[in-house]
Structure 1
Amino acid sequence: MNYIIIKDSQQLTEVCQKARLADVVMLDTEFVRTRTYHPQLGLIQLYDGEQLVLIDPLEIDDMQAFSELLSDTSVTKVLHACGEDLEVFQHAFGCTPTPMIDTQLMAAFLGYGLSTGFAALVNDYLSVELDKSESRADWLARPLTDKQLDYAAADVFYLLPLYQQLLEQVEVKGWLEAVEQESQLLVEKRLKQVKPEQAYLSVKGAWILKPQQLAILKIIAQWRLLEAQKRDLALNFIVKEANMVEVCRNEMTSLKEMNEAGFDHREIRRHGNTLIEMVKQGQAIAESEWPAKITRLMDNPAYKQLFKLLKDEVKLASESSGLATEFLASKKQLNQFISWVWNKDRNPEQLPDVMQGWRKEIVGEALNKKMS
C-alpha cells in the first residue's frame, strides 16, 4: 500500500486532473468535532485505482482543484458511512461529492444492518482485519504519525475492492437504482439547514412547555443557534439544552435562580444576563403570537396501537424483500409517515420517506392502505 502525501496546490491539481479521468474515485476524510459547531477537516484520502494520496488541507492554500473534482458529475465518488463527511465537504468547499454512492447503504440493500462498519465489511468481503485504533486520533495535530497515515490510507485502499464486490451483488439483485436514490436522500437530509426561527422545535423536552414559555424558547433557541454558528462552537457549549428548557419553564429572571438550579458558573457568567433579557422579551410577546403547544404523536391515544400495526406491516415487507426492518422504515420514518397523515393531510408536497422512491412500492403503499 504505497501512498503519497500532497502538501501543495500544484501537486493537488495534478492528482485531481488524473482522478477526473477515472469513472469512480474512493474518498474519505479525517476530522475533529469535539467543541466546534462545524467539523474541522484534518485530512482527505483519495484513491482512483492508480493514485493513492493523502491530501493535507492544513498545508494547501488553494483547494480549488479538489472542489472541481467533487463537483465533476462524470466521476462517481464512493464513500462509506459518509453522513459527517458530507458536512465536512460542504463546510470546507461549499459543495458535496456529486454523484455519490455510500457503501454502507449498498451493504444495507444486501441484508446488512444499516450501521455496519467499514472494518466489518472489509473483513467479510476481503478477509482483511483493519486496525481501527486511530479512529479517535487528533487529525489536526502535526506531524501525523506513520500509524495515522497508514490507517487513513487503508480506508480508501480497501474501499475500492469492497465497492467492486458490493456493486456486482447490488446489480445482480436489481438494487442499484435504489442505492443511488438512497445515497441522494442521505445528501439531502444531511445538508438540510435548520431555520433559526424553527430551532426551538428540535429542542429536546420542548413539548413540556406552555405556549408562552415556548415563545421564550423560540427566542433563546434562535439566539443559541446563531451564536454557535458565528463562534463555531457546539450548541451545548453556548447553553446546555436542558438548562435552556429550565430557564423557559421557570421563566427565570435572576442569576440567583440559575445558580440554585445548578447551572454551570461559566454559563451563568457568560450568558446569564442575556438569557434574562430574552426571558423578559418573550414575556412581552402578545398571546396571539405565542407558538402552538408542541404535541407528541405518542400522546395520541390511537398512536400505540397504530404504530404496532404499521411495524407489523414493515416486518412483512422485510421478510419478502430481505431488507432489515430498520432500513425499510425506522421508528423515525414511521413517525414521519404518521405525522404526514394526521397533521399534514397527506400533503403531496411534503411526502415522507416511505412514500418516495424505492420504499413506496415495497412498503409505503401498504402502510398507506393501513391508514385509509
Structure 2
Amino acid sequence: MDYQIVTELADLELVCAKAREADVVMLDTEFVRIRTYYPMLGLIQLYDGETLSLIDPVALDELTPFTELLKDTSVLKVLHACGEDLEVFANSFGCMPIPMVDTQVMAAFLGYGLSTGFAALVKEHLDIELDKSESRADWVARPLTQKQLEYAAADVYYLYPLYQKLYQQVSDKGWWQASQQESDLMMQKRGIIPNSDTAYADIKGAWQLNRKQLAVLKPLAAWRLKEALRRDLALNFVVKEQDLWTIARHSLVSPKSMEENGVDPRSIRRHKDKIASIVKLGKQLPEDEYPEKIERLMDYPGYKQAFKILKDEVKKASQQTGLATEFLASKKQLNQFLTWVWRRHRDPAKLPDVMQGWRLEVLGLQLDKVMK
C-alpha cells in the first residue's frame, strides 16, 4: 500500500488534476470533534485507483485544487458512513462532494443494517482484517505517527475494491439509482444551515413549557446557537441544554437563583449578565407574541394506532424487498410522514422522505393509502 503525503501546493495541484481525469475517486477525512461546533479537519485521504494521497490541511494554506475536485461533477466521489465528512467539507470548503455515493448506503440496499461499519464490510467482502485502533487519535496534532498514516491510507485503499464489489451487487439488484438518491438525501440534510429562530424547539423538554416560558427559552436558545457558531464551540460548552431549560422554566435572573436551581457555576460566572438580560426581555414580550405551545406528535389522538399501522406496512415492505425496516423508514421518518399528513395537510412542497425518491414506490404510496 504505497501512499504519498501532500504538504505542498504544487503537489496538491498535480494530485487533484490526476484525480479529475478518473471517473471515480475514493475520499475520506480524519477530524477531531470534542469541544468544537464544527469538526476540525486533520487529514484528507484521496485514492483514484492508482495514486493514494494523504493531503495535510494543517500544512497547506491553499486547498483550492481540492475544492475544484469536490465540485467536479464528472467525477463520482465514493465515501463510507460520510455524514460527518459532509459537514467537514461544507465547513472547510463551502461545498459538498458532487456527485457522491456512500458505501454504507449501498450495503443497506443489500440487506445490511444501516450502521454497518467499514471494517466489517472489508472483512466480509475482501477477507481483510483492518486495524481500527487509531480511529480516536488526535488528527490535528503533528507529527502524525506511522501507524496513523497507514490507518488513514487503508480507509481509501480498501474502499476501492469494496466499492467495486458493492456496485456490482447493487446494480444487479436494481438499486444503484436508489443508492445515489439516498446519498443525495443525506447530503441535503447535512447541508441544512442551523436556524436560530427555531433552535428552542430542539431543546429537550421544550414541549413541557407553557407559552410564557417559551418566550424566554426561544431567545436563550437563539443566543446560545449564535454564540456556539461565533466561537466554534459545541452547544453544551456554551450553556448546557438542561440549564437553558431550567432558566426558562423558572425565569431565573439572579446568579443566586440560578445557583439554587442547579445551573452550572461556570455558565453563571461567564454568562450571568447576558442570560439575565435575555430573560428580562423575554418576560416583557406581549402575550400575543409568545411562541405557540409545542405539541408532541405522540399526544395526538390516535397516534399510537396510526404509528402501529405504519410500522406494519414497513414490515411488509421489508419482507418484500429484503431491506432493513430501519432503513426503509426510521421512527423519525414515520413521524415526519405523520406530521406531513396531520399538520401540513399533505403539502406537496414539503414532502417527507417516504414520499419522494426510491421510497415513494417501495413504501410511500402504500403509507399514504392506509392513512386515507
TM-score (norm 1): 0.99
Q: Count the aligned residue pairs.
A: 372
Matching residue of 1:78? 78
Q: Distance in 2 between matches of 1:3 and 1:260?
A: 58
DSSP 3-state at the match of 2:197? helix
Matching residue of 1:122? 122
Which amino acid in structure 2 is aligned with residue 291 of structure 1? P
Shift of 1:109: 0.3
1:130-169 counterparts in 2 under 5 A? 130-169=130-169
Matching residue of 2:26? 26
Q: Is the 8 A contact 1:213 1:251 kept in 2?
A: yes
Q: Distance in 1 between matches of 2:263 and 2:9?
A: 48
DSSP 3-state at the match of 2:305? helix
Q: Is the 8 A contact 2:243 2:264 kept in 1?
A: no
Q: Distance in 2 between matches of 1:2 and 1:148?
A: 14
Matching residue of 1:251? 251
Q: Distance in 1 between matches of 2:264 and 2:191?
A: 32
Q: Distance in 2 between matches of 1:260 and 1:291?
A: 27
Shift of 1:194: 2.2
Matching residue of 1:67? 67
CA deviation vs aligned residue, 1:253-279 (integer Å, no higher than 9, x gap): 211111112222111100122111111
Q: Please say if 1:37 is aligned against 2:37.
A: yes
Which amino acid in structure 1 is aligned with residue 23 of structure 2? D
DSSP 3-state at the match of 2:22? coil
Farther off after superposition, 47-56 or 261-270? 261-270
Q: Distance in 1 between matches of 2:123 and 2:267?
A: 46
Matching residue of 2:175? 175
Farther off after superposition, 135-144 or 254-263? 254-263
Q: Please say if 1:272 is aligned against 2:272.
A: yes
Q: Is the 8 A contact 2:16 2:66 kept in 1?
A: yes
Matching residue of 1:94? 94
Q: Is the 8 A contact 1:354 1:363 kept in 2?
A: yes
Q: Is the 8 A contact 1:8 1:61 kept in 2?
A: no
Shift of 1:362: 0.6
Matching residue of 1:241? 241
Q: Distance in 2 between matches of 1:244 and 1:41?
A: 30
Shift of 1:305: 1.2
Shift of 1:301: 3.0
CA deviation vs aligned residue, 1:76-133 (integer Å, no higher than 9, x gap): 0000000000000111111110100000000000000000000000001000010000
Q: Please say if 1:2 is aligned against 2:2.
A: yes
Q: Distance in 2 between matches of 1:3 and 1:22?
A: 18
DSSP 3-state at the match of 2:124? helix
Which amino acid in structure 2 is aligned with residue 191 of structure 1? G
Q: Distance in 1 between matches of 2:291 and 2:370?
A: 32
Q: Distance in 2 between matches of 1:259 and 1:200?
A: 22
Q: Distance in 1 between matches of 2:135 and 2:162?
A: 20
Farther off after superposition, 111-120 or 273-282? 273-282
Matching residue of 1:365? 365
Matching residue of 2:47? 47
Q: Distance in 2 between matches of 1:335 and 1:266?
A: 37
Shift of 1:195: 1.6
Matching residue of 1:211? 211
DSSP 3-state at the match of 1:294? coil
Gaps spanning 5+ residues in structure 1: where?
A: none
Q: Distance in 2 between matches of 1:203 and 1:48?
A: 43
CA deviation vs aligned residue, 1:189-241 (integer Å, no higher than 9, x gap): 01111221111111111101101111111101110111000011000000000
Matching residue of 1:317? 317
Gaps spanning 5+ residues in structure 2: where?
A: none
Q: Distance in 1 between matches of 2:300 and 2:41?
A: 44
TM-score (norm 2): 0.99
DSSP 3-state at the match of 1:233? coil
CA deviation vs aligned residue, 1:305-340 (integer Å, no higher than 9, x gap): 111111000000000011100000000000000010
Shift of 1:138: 0.2
Name the Cα RMSD after superposition. 0.6
Matching residue of 2:333? 333
Q: Distance in 2 between matches of 1:272 and 1:360?
A: 50
Matching residue of 1:226? 226
Q: Distance in 2 between matches of 1:298 and 1:145?
A: 50
Q: Distance in 1 between matches of 2:194 and 2:238?
A: 17
